[in-house]
Structure 1
Amino acid sequence: MGLTRKRDLTLAVVVTGLLGYLLVRAVYRYFPPLTLWTGVSLLGLAAVIGGWGFLVRARIRDGEIGVGGGRLHPLAVARSVVIAKASAWMGSVVLGWWLAVVVYLLPRRSELRVAAEDTPGAVVAALCALALIVAGLWLQHCCRSPDDPAEDADPAPN
């Protein structure tokens, strides 16, 4: 399993944003009100995943990896990488959606009162989704072994 590439995440944001914008144009009138609390659950998840990254990083750095009391099992690290990748990908899709909502709302703020009221909630949700991406990438980075090759080095094509 390779590292999650930022360009792939960016592509997910763009594709989801374009498709989301078309969907928002069609169904915005049926949306419930967007409050500042709309996307905050993503921020809570990002905080947990970020904290998890610090824990994994500290244990790997201290050499506490292996099978034994209080040590981090190698399978726990592998599962952490899966959670990290899933978080980054999910954050990318959700960020694309909220950016589509924001792009739809911004030009309509002066003509639609509800658009002006929904904009802050959509912006906060987009920022929370961005925090989830960052936390996922951070956890993935923290799961690397100290002797892993540099992140920037892509394997040579065959």
Structure 2
Amino acid sequence: MHFTRPRDLVVAAIAGFAVVYLLFQFDYGNLPRLPLLAGVTFAVLAAAELVLSLSIRSRIRSGRVTGAVGIARAVALAKASSLAGAFLGGGWLAAFGYVFPRRDELAAAVADSRSAVVGVVSSALLVAAGLWLEHCCRTPPEKPERPTG
């Protein structure tokens, strides 16, 4: 498995943007209001990943890594989190792009704009936490051995 590339995140964000913008374009009037705290879930996940990344980083630096399986799972979590955050961040950005210009004519658009801002910020936090966790799981470069004698 390779580490997450910026183009992977861009593609995921564009896909999320396209899906949500088309959904809003064709069916916004039939959708329920966006809950204000719907995006906060990603901020909570980002905080949990930050704690995990600090733990893994300290264990790798001190040489206390007992199993590679746990680190591999953390890398998989980090990759999935950053891609999901990028996809849904694009979706939240599309929601904001659709409702913000309509806030003067639609009452629901004002509340949905706030929800979209919370979602975009939380998604960005998840992407950042996922990339940081992935970085913390990298194997440190080997130190050259000192010549004896």
Shift in Å, 1:11 = 1.7
TM-score (norm 1): 0.85
In the alignment, the residues of structure 2 paired with residue 54 and residue 30 of structure 1 have an alpha-carbon distance, to the nearest angstrom, of 44
Q: Which amino acid aligns with 1:146?
A: P
TM-score (norm 2): 0.90
1:47, 1:135 within 8 Å by CA — same for their partners in 2? yes
Shift in Å, 1:53 = 0.6
Task: Tell me the secondary structure at the aligned position of residue 29 of structure 2.
Answer: helix
Q: In structure 1, what is the equivalent of residue 57 of structure 2?
A: 57
Alpha-carbon displacement from aligned partner over 1:78-133 (angstroms, at most 9, x marks no partner) = 11101110111111111111111000011101111110121111110111011111
Q: Which amino acid aligns with 1:46?
A: A
Q: In structure 1, what is the equivalent of residue 16 of structure 2?
A: 16
Task: Tell me the secondary structure at the aligned position of residue 87 of structure 1.
Answer: helix
Shift in Å, 1:15 = 2.4
Shift in Å, 1:13 = 0.4
Alpha-carbon displacement from aligned partner over 1:1-22 (angstroms, at most 9, x marks no partner) = 1110012101210122123211
Task: Point out where structure 1 has 5 or more consecutive residues left out of the alignment.
Answer: 67-72, 149-158
In the alignment, the residues of structure 1 paired with residue 120 and residue 28 of structure 2 have an alpha-carbon distance, to the nearest angstrom, of 17
In the alignment, the residues of structure 2 paired with residue 127 and residue 30 of structure 1 have an alpha-carbon distance, to the nearest angstrom, of 26
Alpha-carbon displacement from aligned partner over 1:14-63 (angstroms, at most 9, x marks no partner) = 12212321111112112222233121111111110111111100100111
> Aligned pairs, how many?
142
Shift in Å, 1:143 = 0.2
1:91, 1:129 within 8 Å by CA — same for their partners in 2? yes
Aligned-residue RMSD, C-alpha: 1.3
Task: Give the helix-richer structure, 1 or 2.
Answer: 2
Q: Confirm or deny that 1:125 pairs with 2:119.
A: yes
In the alignment, the residues of structure 1 paired with residue 136 and residue 30 of structure 2 have an alpha-carbon distance, to the nearest angstrom, of 42
Q: Confirm or deny that 1:114 pairs with 2:108.
A: yes
Task: Point out where structure 2 has 5 or more consecutive residues left out of the alignment.
Answer: 143-149
Q: In structure 1, what is the equivalent of residue 137 of structure 2?
A: 143
Q: How does 1:41-52 map to 2 (within 5 A)?
A: 41-52=41-52
Q: Which amino acid aligns with 1:81?
A: V
Q: Which amino acid aligns with 1:82?
A: A
1:43, 1:132 within 8 Å by CA — same for their partners in 2? yes
Q: In structure 1, what is the equivalent of residue 78 of structure 2?
A: 84
